[in-house]
């Protein structure tokens, strides 16, 4: 990839970088290795380093630096842990990447109110450790050890959304630096409010194009008395999908219900040294009081049996459960290991759950008929699944095939009333689909963007064109 | 009240009304009684009739009429059931009220996916009846038989938010007519999405200032196997409040937990012919499988007993439960009946739940020390409570006292990290508080407003100034 910055934009970037270096010294880096790290993410997109990387240590420093960049119309790209997968942090128009990992303090934990406030650079596992002894937890788990700023900006979710919702539901308020350097707070610590526009949820999922998140006020949950996980193989993909549909329709409050097709079970077995039967499989997790978990277990047994499910393999111990979910979270790497040297394109559609029964097998058959290796893993309780399309990056024909299969997948999902991205976000990789999905509503997004960032300095080139 | 429309604005309104009459005939009404009905709501604010009332029958008709109004810069005020309480539908700058009650069709019910789409004029009880035989229900219950367009526009919630969330959580997508008459669809039927800005939640709670909602796509829930309600009196307000706090902290999934202080129990007893002990009281409702309800019941017994709670009076039968919630929902009328000829100002703060223990009794003591009749009812599981301030509208001194007590209440709530309005919304009655609550963030709202409605024709004068 190459940056689109040129002419006047280029002169502005140079002026901003020079001024930031004067203001912040060592914390403005132009070291090639630092630039290179910040030009990558976990996507299949290429590398594109920024012109400089700034390491702020406070909201105030972010605001001061944004004012410098605004003066020179220099693009500002917020950066958390680099775990996004659609090129969200690529400096398409050059500019300065703001690495927010220094905003890494847990600022308050209000155990009685089940809420906390964290710096945007705090990571998921860091908060998990801090909350453990308080008997609390934050449920949203996209797999990667992402930052809270990053998870908020992509409206992340993951395996637990079926029970606890997505980042949208877990956030109470934000501290945001706007495009002109002004700092605002959105939301309050109240659980609900009707006091004006829901700016909190406007910034959540805006991928840094409307403001830079520097603090996040989160809801927390009490750690359940009992947690059990289980693996259940099925005779057919349809049986596993129908089970998931019935569980959701009956509102059994499972904490996780993940589908792996046989190809994915095979990949995960090899990669994580497991020996689950190579069949379409559901991974479950149940949270609750002992009585509630027992009741849910009994209901699950009945439903799975009626759809050709085999015996459950239960994991009550924490270490065993963690190994299970570790294996599940490494599905992407497990898929990549099937064909060394290749890259993976992870699709991310989400459909009304009743449509999983046709969209999922049709997509699987489509990928097969194109000769692709395409294991599937899905947060099926939400209707969200990932088909991991493996391809040789040097084979242009294969890459084109992958894009074609994804295009048909997205069209199938949109026709079913679904969305092109359930949780990964748009970055620049999915711009085309957002336009197809939302039609004229994209112009409303554009008008909001222009109203808040008229010079388009905040993460330009993401979510939509213009 | 008098309209602020004058000069050029007035000429534009007249031109728009005349053109709408030509286009829509009888469905554009200037009958004094129709205007009068649409100049009222259920608030303590005065009456202000619009210049005309338009009764559209489709999204397309709304769009056509908005285009006419836009051409003449004539204000457009959307209207549902007239149950709002902060002057949301007052035509402050004159103009045409769009009475959306004709958009009253339930457009689709997808039982397998637990979702449906309804016209903005469909009312809560109408949907409840339609869903009953399907074993489904929509839980959000603000008391009034409001329309879905109105509930979406004020981000309504009510007694069940502690379990099921607010309107924000229950909406999947919207059909919206923008200020220039363009029609957009936001969201999809997918349960989650990261595809761009969350326009759905931007329009929810925008009180018709960013667009007119004509259709709402809703989440639905399966009707629980078992529903029981219970009334439990306490020796002290503190005991009732501590019980509510502990229930929430232990994450017992109560479907409703409502607090009435002794004054409110007395008012409700008189108005609804009940004989509950005149003490601070919690009304509960539990939803779930028989086992889950039994388990929750046992936990509630232990918690209430440890905080001085008396015996539960249980209502398992539907009729009995309905009578209970009917009485609860008529708390406002019950309060008004305490002092005939008076008006009621319903405060609506929401605070972090741990702060109920001080904010609630301090506010009660404050109202008492000012000599006001001020019964309290609260959705205490959310930290939201209403102090109903009764006053003689002809007594200017008493009215000033009410405003002073409310001002101190809101300041107390904001200082506690709360919000000025948990569920009623802003209208024009709470504009001052929104500015105090959100500070500079209000300017972000203003910029979004101007970007989407530059001529400010959509419900002008609401939520914030300018």
Q: Residue B9: its pLDDT value, please?
A: 86
B382 and A201 in contact by Cβ < 8 A? no
Q: Which of B155, B189, B464 sits opposite A194 (nearest CB)?
A: B155
Q: Which of A113, A165, A184 sits opposite B440 (nearest CB)?
A: A184
Sign of CA dihedral A327, A332, A335, A337: negative
Q: Helix (H, G, I), strand (E, B), or coil: what is residue A119? A: strand
Q: Residue B46: its pLDDT value, please?
A: 80
Q: Residue A419: its pLDDT value, please?
A: 98
Q: Residue B42: its pLDDT value, please?
A: 81
Q: Residue A416: its pLDDT value, please?
A: 98
For the cut 70, the answer to whether the pLDDT of residue B395 exceeds it is: yes
Chain B positions touching A438 (Cβ under 8 A) are: 184-186, 195-196
For the cut 70, the answer to whether the pLDDT of residue B422 exceeds it is: yes
Q: Is A365 in CB contact (< 8 Å) with chain B?
A: no
Give the pLDDT band (50/70/90) at residue B373. Answer: very high
Q: Residue A101: its pLDDT value, please?
A: 98
For the cut 80, the answer to whether the pLDDT of residue A5 exceeds it is: no
In this predicted model, what pLDDT tens digit does every residue of B320-333 receive, in sequence order? Answer: 999 999 999 999 99
In this predicted model, what pLDDT tens digit does every residue of B122-167 receive, in sequence order? Answer: 999 999 999 999 999 999 999 999 999 999 999 999 999 999 999 9
In this predicted model, what pLDDT tens digit does every residue of A216-230 receive, in sequence order? Answer: 999 999 999 999 999
Q: Residue A4: its pLDDT value, please?
A: 67
Q: In what order do the strands lie in the sheet with A106-110?
A: A106-110, A115-119, A212-219, A171-177, A183-187
Q: With CA atoms as reference, report the closest residue to A387 among A422, A416, A438, A437.
A: A422
Q: Is A249 in CB contact (< 8 Å) with chain B?
A: yes
Q: Which of A112, A204, A452 sits opposite B249 (nearest CB)?
A: A112
Distance (Å, whole) CA A57 – CA A208: 18
CA R_g for chain B: 22
What residues of chain B, 21 to 60, have a C-beta less than 8 Å from chain A?
Answer: none
Q: Residue A439: its pLDDT value, please?
A: 96
B195 and A451 in contact by Cβ < 8 A? no
CA A22 from chain centre, in angstroms, equals 36
Task: State percent of chain A over pLDDT 70.
Answer: 99
Q: Is the ipTM here above 0.95?
A: yes
B194 and A156 in contact by Cβ < 8 A? yes
Task: Decide: A346 and A424 in contact? Cβ < 8 Å.
Answer: yes
Q: What share of chain B is helix, strand, coil (3-state, %, to 5)?
A: 40, 20, 40
Q: Residue B315: its pLDDT value, please?
A: 87
Give the pLDDT band (50/70/90) at residue A265. Answer: very high
Q: Is A426 in CB contact (< 8 Å) with chain B?
A: yes
HSE-up (13 A, CA, CB side) for residue B326: 10
In this predicted model, what pLDDT tens digit does every residue of B423-437 receive, in sequence order? Answer: 999 999 999 999 999
Average pLDDT, chain B: 95
The predicted model gives B19-35 an average pLDDT of 97
Give B253's contacts (C-beta < 8 A, 6+ positions apart).
B163, B287, B288, B292, B296
B249 and A222 in contact by Cβ < 8 A? yes
In this predicted model, what pLDDT tens digit does every residue of A30-48 receive, in sequence order? Answer: 999 999 999 998 877 888 9
Q: Is A465 in CB contact (< 8 Å) with chain B?
A: no
Q: Residue B2: its pLDDT value, please?
A: 67
Q: Which of B426, B439, B450 sits opposite A451 (nearest CB)?
A: B450
In this predicted model, what pLDDT tens digit does every residue of A68-110 receive, in sequence order? Answer: 999 999 999 999 999 999 999 999 999 999 999 999 999 999 9
Q: Residue A410: its pLDDT value, please?
A: 98
Give A30's contacts (C-beta < 8 A, 6+ positions apart).
A17, A21, A51, A52, A53
Q: CA nearest B209 in A: which residue?
A: A197
Q: Residue A46: its pLDDT value, please?
A: 80
For the cut 70, the answer to whether the pLDDT of residue A56 exceeds it is: yes
B30 Cα to chain A: minimum distance (Å): 32
Q: Residue A8: its pLDDT value, please?
A: 81
The predicted model gives A356-367 an average pLDDT of 97
For the cut 90, the answer to whether the pLDDT of residue B380 exceeds it is: yes
Q: Which of B107, B110, B195, B462 to mutate to test the interface with A (most CBs of A within 10 A)?
A: B195
For the cut 70, the answer to whether the pLDDT of residue B4 exceeds it is: no
What residues of chain A, 134 to 163, have a C-beta less than 8 Å from chain B?
Answer: 154-157, 161
Q: With CA atoms as reference, report the closest residue to B90 among B399, B428, B442.
A: B428
For the cut 80, the answer to whether the pLDDT of residue A161 exceeds it is: yes
Could you give the residue ranges of the DSSP H alpha helices within A154-260?
161-164, 167-170, 199-203, 237-249
Q: Which of A289, A350, A442 sits opposite B193 (nearest CB)?
A: A350
If you count residue pairs, one on A and one on B, with CB atoms under 8 Å apart, how many are there?
276
Locate B136 and state its tokens.
């489904």
A417 and B185 in contact by Cβ < 8 A? no
Q: Is A415 in CB contact (< 8 Å) with chain B?
A: no
Q: Is B298 in CB contact (< 8 Å) with chain A?
A: no
For the cut 80, the answer to whether the pLDDT of residue B444 exceeds it is: yes
């Amino acid at each position: 990839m190459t940056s689109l910055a040129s002419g006047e934009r280029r002169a502005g970037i140079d002026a901003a970088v020079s001024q930031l270096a004067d203001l912040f010294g060592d914390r403005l880096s132009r070291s090639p290795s630092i630039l290179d790290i910040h030009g990558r993410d976990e996507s299949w997109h290429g590398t594109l380093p920024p012109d400089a990387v700034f390491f702020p240590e406070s909201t105030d420093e972010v605001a001061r630096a944004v004012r410098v960049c605004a003066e020179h119309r220099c693009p500002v790209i917020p950066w958390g842990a680099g775990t996004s997968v659609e090129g969200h942090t690529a400096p398409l128009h050059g500019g300065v990447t703001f690495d927010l990992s220094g905003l890494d303090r847990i600022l308050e934990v209000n155990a009685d109110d089940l809420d906390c406030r964290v710096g945007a650079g705090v990571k998921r596992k860091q908060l998990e450790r801090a909350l453990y002894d308080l008997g609390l937890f934050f449920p949203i788990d996209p797999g990667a050890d992402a930052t809270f700023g990053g998870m908020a900006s992509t409206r992340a979710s993951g395996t637990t959304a079926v029970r606890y919702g997505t980042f949208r539901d877990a956030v109470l308020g934000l501290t945001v630096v706007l495009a002109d350097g002004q700092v605002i707070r959105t939301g309050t610590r109240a659980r609900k409010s009707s006091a004006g526009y829901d700016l909190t949820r406007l910034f959540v999922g805006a991928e840094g194009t409307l403001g830079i998140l520097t603090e996040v006020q989160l809801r927390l949950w009490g750690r359940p008395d009992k947690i059990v996980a289980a693996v259940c193989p099925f005779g057919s993909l349809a049986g596993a999908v129908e089970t998931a549909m019935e569980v959701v329709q009956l509102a059994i409050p499972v904490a996780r219900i993940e589908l792996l097709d046989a190809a994915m079970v095979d990949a995960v077995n090899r990669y994580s040294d497991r020996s689950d039967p190579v069949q379409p499989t559901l991974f479950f997790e149940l949270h609750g009081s002992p009585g509630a978990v027992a009741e849910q277990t009994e209901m699950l047994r009945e439903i799975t049996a009626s759809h050709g499910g085999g015996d459950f393999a239960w994991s009550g111990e924490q270490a065993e459960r963690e190994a299970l979910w570790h294996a599940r979270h490494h599905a992407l790497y497990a898929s990549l290991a099937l064909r060394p040297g290749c890259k993976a394109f992870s699709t991310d559609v989400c459909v009304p759950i009743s449509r999983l029964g046709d969209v999922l097998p049709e997509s699987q058959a489509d990928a097969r008929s194109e000769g692709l290796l395409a294991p599937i893993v899905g947060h099926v309780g939400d209707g969200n699944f990932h088909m991991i399309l493996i391809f040789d990056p040097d084979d242009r024909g294969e890459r084109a095939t992958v894009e074609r299969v994804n295009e048909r997948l997205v069209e199938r999902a949109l026709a079913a009333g679904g969305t092109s991205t359930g949780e990964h976000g748009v970055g620049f990789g999915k711009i085309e689909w957002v336009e197809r999905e939302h039609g004229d509503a994209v112009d409303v997004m554009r008008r909001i963007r222009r109203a808040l960032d008229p010079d388009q300095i905040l993460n330009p080139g993401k979510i939509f064109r213009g």
